[in-house]
Amino acid sequence: TDVTLFDTTIFTADNRGACSNSPTGRCLPFNPFTEKPVEGVNWQKGPNFGKAVNQFGFQQPRTFLVSFGLRF
């Protein structure tokens, strides 16, 4: 899957994102070696995370081709 076809925005303390469950309203930094990151406190998915960014992010519909010949 090509990640350029989907929105992959993640808010963290590095990009000064807003986290909904954080006491300060901003994402809190964490030490990945000693702490487990918590969604909503240390990081938050963007509002359009996982959605297609253009028409190429959608799968082609299934198509059927039926052909037959008549001889008389």
Q: Where are the domains of the chain?
A: 1-57
pLDDT (tens digit, 9 = 90+) per residue, 11-67? 999 998 889 888 888 999 999 999 999 999 999 999 999 898 888 888 888 888 899
Give me the pLDDT at residue 71, please: 85
List the structure tokens of 27: 């994402």
Give me the pLDDT at residue 37, please: 94
Give me the pLDDT at residue 33, please: 96
User: Are the C-beta atoms of residues 22 and 39 closer than 8 Å to each other?
Assistant: no
pLDDT band at 2 (very low <50, low <70, confident <90, very high): confident
